Amino acid sequence: MDYIDGLSPAVSIDQKSTSHNPRSTVGTVTEIYDYMRLLFARAGIPHCPICGREVVKQSAEEIVDKIETLPASTRVLILSPLVRARKGTYQAVFEEIRKAGFTRARVDGNVHSLDDEINLDRYKQHTIEAVVDRLVISQNGEKEDQKAARTRLTDSVETALKFGEGYVSVNLVDQKQDIHFSEHLACPEHGVSISEVEPRTFSFNTPQGACPDCQGLGSKLVEIDPERIIPDPERSLNEGAIASMEWSGPKEEGGYYWQGLQAAARAYRIDLDTPVSEMTKEQLDIILYGTGERQVQMTYRNSNGHEFRFSRAFEGVITNLERRYRETNSEYIREKISEFMSDRPCPTCKGKRLNPAALAVTVDDINIITATSWPVLKTLEWVKKLSGKNSPLTPKQRTIAERVLKEIHDRLTFLVNVSTTHPTRYTGRLTAGRRAVCARRTVHWFAPA
C-alpha cells in the first residue's frame, strides 16, 4: 500500500476537527484532505496552466505513430524547439545548430538557411527551432518503402527529441500548422513542465505545491490600511491620531519623522490641531502619501539640541511605512509595521494557495481546491459519482483510485452522520487556541467562509 508519509492507515477522524464550523468543508479536515491529495496524485490529469491542454508524456514511438496518421503526401518539417519567445540575438544557438550538422533553422516562424547571417533584434522576443528533417508522409507503396519511411521518421523524431531536450514540433507545411510533442510531462507548446504529480504537489507548504507568490498562505500583506493607521479620526495629529509611534505627535519624542510631518503641515497650511475627520482629502493625502517631488523647508533638532536646516520632500506616513516594510532587515520592525497592514487575497492564486500547475490537475475536470471547498455533502455526492456505475474515470483510473475513493467515501459519510446526529457540535466557533493549533498543522486550511 502506498500511504502518504506519516499517515496511519487506520486514522479515525479527530472529532474535534469536525466540530469547528457548521459550514465545514472537507478541506478543513486534514485527514480527508490528505486522502484527496492521494486521489489527485493517482487519478488527476495534469494540464498546461497557460493553455489548459492536457499534458501527457509520449515516447518517441508514440509520437511517430501519431505523425504517421497524418494524411498521405502531407509535407512536414521535424523541428527541435530551442528558444521559446525570449529576448536576445542567439548567435551561439545558431552556432550550436550548425555544429550539430543541421543546415536550417526556423526563426519566428520563417525557415532560414544557416549559411546566411541571421541578425535578430536583441530587444525582441524570438522563437528558434532547428530544422531536423523535411519529409513527406507516405502511407501507400511497397512494404519495404513503408518500413524505410518509418525508420527515417523515427530517426528524425529521436534526433529532434534529443536536440530539443525532450521536445519536438512538427510543422505541416501546407496547412501552416504546428503540432507539438514532448516526452516529458510538459506542455509541448509552452514548455511548462509539470513535475511528477505526487501527493505533495497539493500541499500548501511544500515548494512543489505552494503558490510561489504567497508561499501558500493564500493572502498577502500588501498595503497599509488607512483605517488602521488612523483608528480614531476624531483625534487631531497633535493628539496622536496616527497610530504608528514615529508620527504620534509631540507627546512622543517628536523625532525626525514627526518633525518632517510638521514641516509638511506648515508648508501646506495644515492645522495639526484639527481632527483628522475635518481635514480635506488633499490635506490628508499630503500627510499619508507625501508631497511628491515638492520639497519643504525643514528644521531638524536632534536629541542633543543641534539644529539642522535643509529642504526635502516629505515622504508621507503610508509611503514611508510601506517602503520600510519592504526594505528593512529587522524582523521586529516588519512585525510592527505589519500591524497597520491588511491582508488581501493573493493576486496570483486568488487565495487558493496552490501553484498554477497544481491547480491545473483535475479529476473529472475539477481541481482539488474546488472539490474540497464544497459543502461536505456535495463532495460526498461527487466521490460517489467517481466510484459509481457512470464514473467519468477511465477503468485504469478507477482501479488505481478505488481504495482511496473508499477511504474518502467512508470519512465523508462519517462526517455527514456526525453532523446529523450531533448538530450542536457544529455550532461552535474556533477558539483562539484551537485556531493556533490548526495554524501550526501543516496541511490544515480553512475555506473562506
Q: Which of 15, 23, 50, 277 is in the footprint of Zn ion by CB under 5 A? A: 50
Residue among 224, 405, 181 nearest 316 (CA): 224
CA distance 159 to 165: 10
Q: What is the smallest separation between the CB atom of 284 and Zn ion, expressed in angstroms?
A: 32
Q: What is the smallest separation between the CB atom of 373 and Zn ion, expressed in angstroms?
A: 15
Of 164 and 290, which CB lies nearer to Zn ion in the complex structure? 164
Q: Is residue 82 a contact residue for Zn ion (CB under 5 A)?
A: no
Binding letters toward Zn ion, positions 99-138, x by CB under 5 A: ----------------------------------------
Of 187 and 337, which CB lies nearer to Zn ion in the complex structure? 187
Contact (Cβ atoms closer than 8 angstroms) between residue 263 and residue 299? yes
Q: What is the smallest separation between the CB atom of 179 and Zn ion, expressed in angstroms?
A: 13
Of 51 and 56, which CB lies nearer to Zn ion in the complex structure? 51
Of 44 and 209, which CB lies nearer to Zn ion in the complex structure? 209
Q: What is the smallest separation between the CB atom of 382 and Zn ion, expressed in angstroms?
A: 25
Q: Which of 54, 213, 227, 278 is in the footprint of Zn ion by CB under 5 A? A: 213
Q: What is the smallest separation between the CB atom of 50 and Zn ion, expressed in angstroms?
A: 4
Q: Which of 15, 51, 227, 392 is in the footprint of Zn ion by CB under 5 A? A: 51
Q: Is residue 214 a contact residue for Zn ion (CB under 5 A)?
A: yes
Of 192 and 242, which CB lies nearer to Zn ion in the complex structure? 192
Choose the binding region for Zn ion from 205-213, 306-314, 380-388, 419-427 (rule: CB under 5 A): 205-213
* Cell triple for 122: 536583441
Q: What is the smallest separation between the CB atom of 186 and Zn ion, expressed in angstroms?
A: 9
Contact (Cβ atoms closer than 8 angstroms) between residue 349 and residue 355? yes
Choose the binding region for Zn ion from 46-54, 200-208, 243-251, 412-420 (rule: CB under 5 A): 46-54
- Give phi and psi for 240, each to the nearest 5: 85, 35
Of 50 and 100, which CB lies nearer to Zn ion in the complex structure? 50
Q: Which of 97, 211, 296, 321 is in the footprint of Zn ion by CB under 5 A? A: 211
Of 89 and 193, which CB lies nearer to Zn ion in the complex structure? 193
Of 191 and 260, which CB lies nearer to Zn ion in the complex structure? 191
Half-sphere exposure of 164 (CA within 13 A, CB side): 35
Identify residues 161-200 at the interface with Zn ion (CB under 5 A): 187, 189-190
Choose the binding region for Zn ion from 158-166, 238-246, 275-283, 338-346 (rule: CB under 5 A): 338-346
CA distance 436 to 66: 54
Q: What is the smallest separation between the CB atom of 276 and Zn ion, expressed in angstroms?
A: 34
Of 219 and 259, which CB lies nearer to Zn ion in the complex structure? 219
Q: Is residue 48 a contact residue for Zn ion (CB under 5 A)?
A: yes
Binding letters toward Zn ion, positions 339-358, x by CB under 5 A: -------x-xx---------
How many residues of this chain interact with Zn ion, rule: CB under 5 A? 12
Q: What is the smallest separation between the CB atom of 180 and Zn ion, expressed in angstroms?
A: 8
Q: Is residue 234 a contact residue for Zn ion (CB under 5 A)?
A: no
Of 346 and 401, which CB lies nearer to Zn ion in the complex structure? 346
Residues that bind Zn ion (CB under 5 A): 48, 50-51, 187, 189-190, 211, 213-214, 346, 348-349
